[in-house]
Structure 1
Amino acid sequence: MLKNYSKVALRNMLRQKGYTVLNLIGLAIGISVCMIIILFVNSELNFDNFHKKGDRIYRVVLDRRYPGRSTSYAIIPYSIGDAMKKEFPEIEQSVRLFQGQQDQGLFLRVDDKVFNEKNVLFADSNFFDVFTVPLLLGNASKALTLPNSLVVNESTAKKYFGSAANALGKTITVDDSAAVVTAVSKDLPPNSHFTFDVIASLSSFGNGVQKPDYVSFSCYNYLLLNANADAKALERKFPLIIEKYVSGDIEKNFGVSFKEFQSAGNGYHYYLQPLTKIHLTSNLEAELSPNGSINIVYAFSVIAFFILLLACINFINLSTARSLDRAKEVGIRKTFGSEQSALIRQFLFESVITSVLSLVIAIILIFVILPFFNGLFNLHLSALYFFQPLQFTFLILSVIFIGVLAGLYPAFVLSSFKPIIVLKGKFSFNPKGRLVRNGLVIFQFAISVMLIISTLTVDRQMQYMLSDQLGFRKDNIVELQRTDLLGKQSQSFINDLRKIPGIENVSGTSALPGDQNFFGASFQLLGSKETLTGRGILSDDQLLSTLDIPVVKGRFFSRDLATDSLSILLNEKALAELGIADPIGARLISPDGFFNLPDGTTQVLTVIGIVKDFNFQSLHQKITPLIFMNGAKFKNVLPLTAVRIQSSQIRNVLGTIEKDWNSYVPGHPFQYKFLDQQLASLYHSEQTMEKLFKIFSMLAIFIAFIGLLGLVTYAAQKRAREIGIRRVLGASVSNIITLLSKDFLKLVIIAVLVAFPVAWLGMDKWLQDFAYRVNVSWWIFIISAFIAVAMALLTVGFQAVKAAITNPVTSLRTE
């Protein structure tokens, strides 16, 4: 029987090649898109799952409350984890990670070669006891315990020494300090929320953070809990750490009692994040790397379902459209004794065969498309995931289920034809069937319109985030890195840069918008106990000119005024929180002594100006207080130089700058990046979402096009005699086009009306994640409706013209 079913199925597929191709293409695209999204979702959901103790590892994070606002930080003070381990027996291990200035990297010298490594972590000696990072060479328990020890991954070992075996015991110079490679690790899997090329001993290379401190943020802290520990119960004990350890540092640093500190609206609240939840649910200040979004996972899971559903709907519509051609076949089969159940099995078998063939095509498409997809989105997805026994079995069963589900309605429609009526050519379809088909078309176009609206809204938000409406000019700014290596030659280097034709301005600074180099800063008005807490930046007198940021009151630093070394400027947000009417001349001190002289003498800083607010962080975050400090006294350690270059001269100027750099610091690689690219990197997940929405919107439109084509073909076949009679009676081609188009246009308009409110609610919800956002604009809905209507008109019009120009004799010869 299966042999007979197969012969009939193959014969029908070959006889109606056009429908077969449309069916196969529609289902194959739907299945392949679904498979790619499954790979993406599986990768996102399994971040950090490779750690054997991952279910017991938690990151300690901080919700820091300030007067009128709060900020959550991924980094916490250096000593908090030690205090927690001391106080709470539920904690088995506490390990710290320190990232340093990742944007600039570290210079590592191997023999006569110098490498600028930006993916360097500093870790406690028990790092390998907590995290599962297999070592190829070396002893995990001792790898980071020795002074000046380094662990490199396999890729880095090959880059430096040719092979992993050659790396062990070799000396690497880290910013003028000698270090020894004590172990070589395997490369971390790509689905890890932190990665490294080099891990250095925190006790040896911690850049001064290794001091008892319960207030200043510096490290990422992870806890390994005992097997029977309750994380939520442990969290409830954390206020003890605030009372016993943090409060004393607050009183010492800020000069107020902890009770006064809290009554002013300040507070510390520590909580735990499960390691495996960090990637998708954490978007805190100072994350180790940009994380994903659980909302994106949900969104694309829904999209995968709907695109596959659209493909199944196409199958139903196209199979129904084919029913006219197979009606007589059904009548003859029934006349010769075929039962309805046998016909249903036959049609379901054909449907399953079509879905299995579509799966084969989809798998071929996956292997062709996936490398391009991985490159476009910087992913590491592998189609081999589906060839594991469990996944492959699930895939086959799912495709069979899709075939059965998509074939049920056409099978029952075809098998229900009455043979006498069919053979006389006078049969008609159940009106309920028409309602089902119309409903499916409405659903298809509603999904397509929603995706178009979503794509245009995401694109508009991305354009806004990357626009020039950030409060400064970001174009043609090149950020030179590690200029602190110039030492006392830094000013001479800057002066030489200013002489280069094509350079408009140059400035030395400790940070630029979009990076994580803005340091935490706290200040008090002299004689007051109220503390202003925000971010700080060191710069020379040219930073605002270089970035084109206006001073709204007072002035910026001047190199001609020696007293400006103790001057500061505030942004408008800082002034608002400080709450003084006349800020110029206000005198501030650093309550934690961060800017005091080495002998402890308090330095009094004077406000000389107010800078207009600008977005120096991601637009996910509101503008926070920012304090500008004069870098003149720190000019030998400013790590960055911002250079504004004429757009037509960028290539030539960069070549000249590199020559100057090599003459000042030979042997150190010339490192730079563009400011606009740095800002764009803040929105990696949104850019991924935008690209995917565009791709899936086009696919949804294409699938809807195929479905509409099938339904229009069905309508044209059903009304072929009517069209023939109208043509004989003098109807024009345009009359026929109008006849066939008006009903479908009504369906598309209904779909548009259904899609509008759903899309508006979804996009408004998504935009709420941004502190600064666009509105969901009315013109986006108009454009989306126009695209849908235009697509419908083109599809229907093409088939209508084809039906209208058909010789009427062809359709009337049986009358």
Structure 2
Amino acid sequence: MYQKYLKTAYRNLTQSKVYSGITIFGLALGLAVSSLSILYVMDELRYDRFNRKADRIYRINSDITYSLKASRAAVAPTPMAQTLKQDFPEVEEAVRLGKYGSHLVKGERAAIREQRVLYADSTVFKVFTLPVIAGNPEKALTEPNSVVITERMARKYFGTSEALNRTLTFDTGVVRRVTAVMADIPAQSHFQADFLLPLHETPEAKVNKWGNHIFNTYLLLRPGTDPQSVEAKFEHVLQTYMDPALRQFFQTTLAETRKAGNNFKYALMPLRDIHLHSDRAGELLPNSSIQYIYLFLGIAFFILLIAVFNFINLSTARSARRAREVGVRKVMGSSRTDLIGQFLAESLLFTFLALLVGLGLVYVLLPDFNVLAAKSLSFGDIVNGRTVGGLMAGTLLVGTLAGLYPAFYLSSFQPIEVLKSKFWIVPGRYNLRGFLVVFQFAMSVLLIIGTVLIHQQLHFIQTKKIGFTKEQVLVVKTAETSASDIAAFKEEVLRNASVKMGAVSGFLPVASNRWNDMWYPAGTTDQKHSINMQEWKVDTDYIPTLELKLLQGRNFEPGRAADSTAVVINERAAQRLGYTRAVGKTIHKSGGEELTIIGVVQDFHYESLRTTIEPVALVINAKMLGSTVEKMALEAVSFRLNTSDIAATLHAVEATWKKTAPGRPFEYTFLSDEFDALYRTEQRIGQLFTCFAVVAILIACLGLFGLSVFAAEQRTKEIGVRKVMGASVAGITALLARDFLKPVLISILIASPIAWFAVDNWLQDFAYRVDVEWWVFAFSGLLAVAIALATVSFQSVKAALANPVKSLRSE
């Protein structure tokens, strides 16, 4: 019986090639895009689950309010890890991870500046699942000048994974011995490291102050421990340890701090929640967002629904053509059950063929999808033993659901009616097909509106005045290079006629690791008058090189000794300090010398537009004091170019670098590229939205085209009569197109408020955002109408041009 079903289904498939092609390709496209979306979601949900103890690992997050400014960070006080392990029996182990930027690494085969370098406590291997291939994990990070490297780095620097006891030179000459080689950390990890260095060697770990929030701190709780019970004890920790620290360093108490509106609060975050639920200062890597999981799941669901609805629509639209077949079968003795089985068999055949085509599309599209989504997904992820069963079951479910309505609908025809040619579909009636067209185009319009608004926000970001000029600024990385070499390099480069200006600095106005300090007006350490402000080390050319605008006072002047105790602040700092005229006022950090404000620059964006501009202090980088912060104070030299021949200028600058800093790699970027990188996620989402919108519209249009074909066939005689009666081609075309435009217009009305709500919610993540204007919805609606018209017009015009004699010959 089943063989008969399949034979009949195959015959129907080959007899209606246009219908079959439209149906299979539409469903295949829906299955392919849905599969890619599900692959993305599965990859995101796997983050940190490779850790065998992941369900017991928690990170300590801090929520600090100081100077009436709330700060959400992924770091905790330096001594907190050891304190909790000692004082809390619920804590089995604790570990801290620290990131200090890139390091220059020299080995036997290469000298490269490496980005994936972390400092870690020796307990890192007890908390996280980081398999050690060679060496003793318990002692690897306890020895002085030790380093643990991954197997990939061992091959990179030594040509073999057998790197134990070999040496690598870091930065300015620190020789470190490889004490362990570990397996490469899986890509689905919220932190990445190719090198682990002993955290106890860092200056902050040696000082071990409760006021220092530098390191990411993780706790491994004992089995069965309730994390909320551990959190409840944090108040005791604050009273016991933080209060004495505040008395010692800030001459205040925890109670007085809270009375002034400030506070310290710490909470535990499950390890497996970090990647999708954490966006805090001090993250070891940029995380994703659970919103993107919902987005991709929604897109997978709705595009698959569009494809399935497309299938149902086309199947029921063919009912007029297949009505006589149903009548004949019933007269010949076929039961309704037989007919339902036949139509379900056809549906399943179409669906499984669509699955094969869809898998082919996944294979073809996956490389481009990986680029757009910044992933490394493989085709094996979807055709392995674990997912094939799911794919087959899913396809069976889709085929059954997609075929149920057409099967019951077609099998319900009465033979006497259809054989007398009294069966027809009333044109323009809003039956199930009308509802499905409305749904399809509503989803398409929603994606169009979302795409337009995302690109509008990206355009706003790229064109908004940000307070400095980011174009034509070449940035050469100079970390761990001596001050004398940097000065010589800058002086030599400035002799090039293609270079207008240059500046040495610790920080540039793009996102990076920075430190905030408490600053006070002269003569007070009262928290009520303090502000939280960043301090950037710069030279005298920093302000003109970046073209920052001075609103008050003057810039630093070369050779002016008094400027060693001077400071230039931004507008926001002056506002927070309460100064209308800030020049001449003095401010100081807690325990620091007083600095005189000599200038105020216009506010400029140094983070993404998701965050508001905060106070910044620019100070002259007069000397190196030896701390980690000061070592990072000469991170880069920025050159403003005045040439269109970038390649030749780059070549000249590189030659100068090799001459003045031999043996160090030439690393450069452009400030505009660094700034654009802040919005890489939004750019990817915009591109993916565009692709998804195109796919949704394509599937919807395939269905609309198929419906227009069948509608024209069904109304052939009506069109013939109208032409004989004098109707014009344009009139007939408009008549046929009108019935399809009604559901499209309804879909626009439905999709617009949903799209407005969704996009407005997304825009809330930006402190500076574009206004959602009416024309976006009008444009998207007109585009949808134009696409629908273009889709149905071809068949409508063809039907209107047909010779009426052919259609009326039998009348």
TM range (shorter): over 0.9
Deviations 1:672-729 (A, max 9, x none): 1122222222233322221211110000010110111122222212211100111122
Corresponding residue number in structure 2 for 1:305: 301
Matched, 1:381 2:377: yes
Q: Which amino acid aligns with 1:256?
A: T
Find out whether 1:510 has 2:506 as its counterpart. Answer: yes
Task: Out of 124-133 and 145-154, give the one that drifted further.
Answer: 145-154
Partner of residue 231 from structure 1, selected from 207, 227, 230: 227
Partner of 2:782: 786
Matches for 1:199-598 after TM superposition, within 5 Å? 199-204=196-201, 206=202, 208-429=204-425, 434-528=430-524, 529-530=526-527, 531-591=530-590, 593=591, 596=592
Deviation at 1:468, TM superposition (A): 4.4
- 2:113 maps to which residue? 116
Greater shift, 408-417 or 257-266, is seen at 257-266
Alpha-carbon distance in 2 for matches of 1:489, 1:208: 27
Q: Verify: 1:93 aligned to 2:99, yes or no.
A: no
Q: Does 1:64 align with 2:54?
A: no
Distance in 2 (CA, whole Å) between partners of 1:369 and 1:787 is: 26
Q: Hey, what's the Cα distance between the residues in 2 that align with 1:414 and 1:364?
A: 32
8-17 vs 254-263, which moves further:
254-263
Residues 25 and 207 of structure 1: CA distance in aligned 2, closer, same or farther (over 3 Å): farther
Q: Distance in 1 between matches of 2:643 and 2:95?
A: 47
**Deviations 1:739-798 (CA, angstroms, capped at 9, x unpaired):** 111222222111111111110011111111111211222221122111101001101211
State the AA in 2 paired with 1:746.
K
- CA offset digits 1:504-549 (Å, max 9, x no partner): 2211110112232432222222222232222221101121212221
Q: Is the counterpart of residue 703 in structure 1 residue 663 in structure 2?
A: no
Question: In structure 1, which of residues 718, 724, 727 is the aligned counterpart of residue 723 of structure 2?
Answer: 727
Q: Using the alignment, how far apart are the partners of 2:12 and 2:437 within structure 1?
A: 25
The offset of 1:339, in angstroms, is: 1.2
Aligned position for 1:161: 158
Which amino acid counterpart does residue 549 of structure 1 have in structure 2?
Answer: L
2: distance between equivalents of 1:138 and 1:489? Answer: 38
- Extract structure 1 runs of 4+ deviating beyond 6 A: 430-433
Corresponding residue for residue 613 of structure 1:
603
Kept in 1: contact 2:69–2:532 (CA 8 A)? no
Question: Deviation at 1:415?
Answer: 1.5
3-state SS of paired residue (2:375): coil
CA contact (8 A) 1:147 1:203 kept: no
Is 1:83 paired with 2:83? yes
- Deviation of 1:208 (Å): 4.9
> 2: CA distance between counterparts of 1:286 and 1:683?
18
CA–CA separation in structure 1 for the residues paired with 2:69 and 2:588: 22
- The alignment's TM-score, normalised by the length of structure 2, stands at 0.96
- When structure 1 is superposed on structure 2, of 498-507 and 39-48 the one drifting more is 498-507
The 3-state SS of whatever aligns with 1:507 is: strand
Deviation of the 1:207 alpha carbon:
5.0
Instruction: Give the Å deviation of 1:481.
Output: 0.8
The one-character-per-residue Cα deviations of 1:142-167 (angstroms, maximum 9, x if unpaired) are: 221222111111211111111202x1
Q: Deviations over 1:296-344 (max 9, x none)?
A: 1101101110000000111011112222222221111111111122111
User: How many angstroms does 1:116 deviate by?
Assistant: 0.9
Q: Distance in 2 between matches of 1:565 and 1:613?
A: 23
SS of equivalent residue, structure 2 residue 573: helix
Q: Do the aligned partners of 1:484 and 1:640 also contact (CA within 8 Å) in 2? A: no
Count of residues in Structure 1 that have an aligned counterpart in Structure 2 = 801
Report the Cα distance in structure 1 between the residues aligned to 2:78 and 2:377, rounded to whole angstroms: 37
Instruction: Give the secondary structure class of the aligned counterpart of 2:308.
Output: helix
The answer to whether 1:12 aligns with 2:12 is yes
- Pair 1:480–1:209, CA change in 2 (3 A): farther
Shift of 1:560: 3.4
**Which residue matches 1:193?**
190
Q: SS in structure 1 opposite 2:449? A: helix
Where 1:485 maps in the other structure, the secondary structure is coil
What is the aligned partner in structure 2 of residue 668 from structure 1? 664
> Contact 2:320–2:424 at 8 Å: present in 1 too?
no
Question: What is the CA-CA distance between 1:393 and the residue it aligns to?
Answer: 1.9
C-alpha distance in 2 between matches for 1:548 and 1:726? 72
Query: 2:627 — aligned with what?
Result: none
Evaluate the alpha carbon distance shift between residue 89 and residue 118 of structure 1 in structure 2; reply closer, same or farther with a 3 A threshold. same
Asked if structure 1 preserves the Cα contact closer than 8 Å seen for 2:64 and 2:72, the reply is: yes
The 2-side partners of 1:264 and 1:568 are apart by 27
Aligned: 1:737 with 2:733:
yes
Cα drift, residue 665 of structure 1: 1.2
Change (3 A) 1:432 1:346: farther
SS of residue paired to 1:36: helix
- Counterpart CA distance in 2 for 1:296 and 1:442 is 26
Given that 1:620 and 1:770 are in contact with CA atoms closer than 8 Å, whether structure 2 keeps it comes out as yes
What does the per-residue CA deviation read over 1:81-120, in whole Å, with 9 as the maximum and x for residues that have no partner?
Answer: 22222222211111111110x2xx1111114742211110
Q: What is the CA-CA distance between 1:255 and the residue it aligns to?
A: 3.0
Tell me the CA shift for residue 642 of structure 1: 1.2
Q: CA RMSD in A?
A: 1.8
SS at match of 2:623: helix
- C-alpha separation between the residues in 2 aligned to 1:213 and 1:467? 43
- 1:40 positional shift: 0.4
> Which 10-residue stretch deviates more, 472-481 or 413-422?
413-422
The one-letter code matched in structure 1 to 2:10 is L
Which residue identity does 2:157 align to in structure 1?
A: Y
Change (3 A) 1:17 1:647: farther
- TM-score, normalised to structure 1, is 0.95
Q: Which moved more, 1:83-92 or 1:33-42?
A: 83-92
Deviates more, 1:299-308 or 1:710-719: 710-719
Q: Closer, same or farther in 2 for the Cα pair 1:241/1:569, shift >3 Å?
A: farther
Q: 2:621 aligns with which of 631, 638, 642?
A: 631
Gaps (5+ residues) in structure 1? 597-602
Does the Cα contact within 8 Å between 1:510 and 1:517 map onto a contact in 2? no
Q: Does 1:688 align with 2:684?
A: yes
* Shift of residue 389, structure 1, vs aligned partner: 4.0
1:797 to 793, 797, 802: 793
The verdict on how the C-alpha distance between 1:807 and 1:278 changes in structure 2, with shifts beyond 3 A counting, is same
Partner residue in 2 for 1:774:
770
Cα deviation, 1:402-452, whole Å, max 9, x if unaligned, reads 111111222222212222222222212478985211111111111100001
Out of 146, 149, 155, which is 2:146 matched to? 149
The equivalent of 2:55 in structure 1 is 55
